[in-house]
Amino acid sequence: MQPLRGTRDILPNEMQSWQYIHNIANKILNQNNYKEVQTPIIENTELFTRSIGNFTDIVNKEMYSFCDQSNRNITLRPEGTASIARAIISNKLYVDSQISRLWYMGPMFRYERPQKGRQRQFHQLGIECIGSFNPIADVEVIKLAIQVLSKLGCISEYELDINCIGNIEERELYKVQLVEYLHKYKDELDNDSKTRLNKNPLRILDSKNTKTQEILQTGPILKNYLNKASLDHFNQVCEHLEYLQISYNINNYLVRGLDYYNYTAFEIKTKTINNQNTVCGGGRYDRLIEQLGGPNIPAVGWAIGIERILILANNYLKTQAQVTNTSIYVAVRNDNYHNSYMVWDILNILEEYNIKFELDLSNSNLSRQIKKASRLKATICLILGENENYNKFVTIKWLNTGMQQQIHFVELKEYMKYIKKTIIT
Ligand code: ATP
Ligand code: MG
């Protein structure tokens, strides 16, 4: 049996890196008063069609949607922001505080062609700062993205692309001009862009096709259709970034693949992974909550792709997240005549002193169990054989020297306390 295409198991040796990422995020974000949330993995399909937009790639061809037993249209979430916006509304989170700072980490689902850094079930770490129009909020989230990425060891060669995509009215105005311009070159556009010309022309700006890019170079630029409020907001964001010495490129062609963004849009790319080099995408979404039936609340946020981080910084994360070996291996013989109940008392002591242990379950002869302990690079093997059981003592074997000593069970607790303090820290 194989897992579904585009999905994979995360095995125990990788889990340490995942936990490390979660811990780092928790530390940095918690300090900045972001609170972790979890929303359901399944939502009404309507949530995504109404927020991400009908003509986006995600809604158009990438969603995992199905009808449940009661004929509800359900979708496995393709991203986190729509769900968070829904949660803000469902739980009236805006009532008690003006600003909600939230973060999440969890699986997302998109039906895409699987390749390196692109899966059908993938994971995102994301933050949302909800309730502020202030350009400082945009800068706060961008700064946090950079902080998280650098703490995860993957920011040495990054590029922050940023653009102002204005509001809906400004974009509508621009769209008309763009479509009119591109119509003149219709036959030279790549196929995707041709279809987008009628449905979602702004996405053409994002085309990777060189001919299309060439055509765009002499076309209208969104920036020229923005009013003062949009430009001022953007300039402030840029000035604060400069103050923070966060380097950025203004990319006039940056548009995100989700319709809900306005004003600031940004992406963090690395120069290392070839095609799938975007590790973080985000922006402002001031209309989304209202669009979904909630009050008019502005917001800004981003999402980082965890799998892409793991590709970039796998080795770094592995060394950072390295877990200590088992400290104590417990070798024990158990048979019909000699039930070694004492083993439970030993484990209780180890647990009490927070010592990491592994209990041998093979019931093979003791020398074989001791060999296993050495192979696992344990510090000590605690031996509980027939003789020990009968006489209520434990043999302690120091695996690096081979030295052995016997400790009476009543003294074991004190001894373990000493060991925990001096040797196994
Ligand atoms: P891309 O252009 O690479 O498809 P996107 O614009 O669709 O990215 P977003 O929706 O902004 O991506 O999601 C934010 C981040 O989530 C991306 O920058 C990327 O790191 C990650 N991501 C998106 N789709 C996938 C996927 N199918 N597999 C793995 N990671 C993904
Ligand atoms: Mg995509």
Q: Is 78 in the pocket of ligand 1 (CB under 6 A)?
A: no
79 annotated as belonging to a binding site for a ligand: yes
81 annotated as belonging to a binding site for a ligand: yes
**Global pTM?**
0.91
What letter does residue 204 receive in the DSSP assignment? G
Full pLDDT tens readout for the chain, 425 residues: 999 999 999 999 899 999 999 999 999 999 999 999 999 999 999 999 999 988 888 998 999 999 999 999 999 999 999 999 999 999 999 998 899 999 999 999 999 999 999 999 999 999 999 999 999 999 999 999 999 999 998 777 789 999 999 998 999 999 999 999 999 998 999 998 998 898 889 989 988 889 999 999 999 999 999 999 999 999 999 999 999 999 999 999 998 877 788 999 999 998 765 666 899 999 999 999 999 999 999 999 999 999 999 988 888 888 887 776 778 999 999 876 677 889 999 999 999 999 999 999 999 999 999 999 999 999 999 999 999 998 999 999 999 999 999 999 999 999 999 998 888 76
- Ligand 1 atom showing the smallest separation from residue 257 Cα: 6
Identify the pLDDT of residue 339: 74
pLDDT tens by residue, 19-49: 999 999 999 999 999 999 999 999 999 999 9
pLDDT tens by residue, 297-342: 999 999 999 999 998 888 888 888 777 677 899 999 987 667 788 9
Atom 7 of ligand 1: nearest residue by CA position = 257
Ligand nearest to the CA of 61: 2
Q: Distance, CA 283 to ligand 1 centroid (Å)?
A: 14
Name which of 347, 359, 267 is nearest 304 in CA terms: 267
Identify the pLDDT of residue 256: 81
CA 61, CA 57: separation in Å to the nearest integer? 6
- Ligand 1 atom showing the smallest separation from residue 308 Cα: 20
Q: Distance, CA 278 to ligand 1 centroid (Å)?
A: 7
CA 82, CA 388: separation in Å to the nearest integer? 62
Q: What residue has token string 């918690």?
A: 30
The angle that helices 12-31 and 306-320 make with each other, rounded to 10 degrees, is: 100
Q: Are the CB atoms for 76 and 110 separated by under 8 Å?
A: no
Please name each of the domains of the chain with its CATH number.
12-166+226-320 (3.30.930.10), 170-219 (no CATH), 328-422 (3.40.50.800)
Q: Are the CB atoms for 91 and 103 separated by under 8 Å?
A: no
pLDDT tens by residue, 94-142: 998 899 999 999 999 999 999 999 999 999 999 999 999 999 999 999 9
Q: Distance, CA 387 to ligand 1 centroid (Å)?
A: 61
Ligand nearest to the CA of 8: 1
Nearby residues of 16 by Cβ (< 8 Å), 6 or more positions away: 318, 321, 322, 323
How deeply is 312 buried, as exposed, middle or buried, from its count of CB atoms within 10 A (0-12, 13-18, 19+)? buried
Ligand nearest to the CA of 48: 1
Name which of 40, 118, 166, 102 is nearest 278 in CA terms: 118
Percentage of the chain with pLDDT > 90?
77
278 annotated as belonging to a binding site for a ligand: no
Atom 12 of ligand 1: nearest residue by CA position = 281
20 annotated as belonging to a binding site for a ligand: no
Nearby residues of 364 by Cβ (< 8 Å), 6 or more positions away: none
Q: Distance, CA 421 to ligand 1 centroid (Å)?
A: 47
Q: Is 261 in the pocket of ligand 1 (CB under 6 A)?
A: no
Q: Is 110 in the pocket of ligand 1 (CB under 6 A)?
A: yes
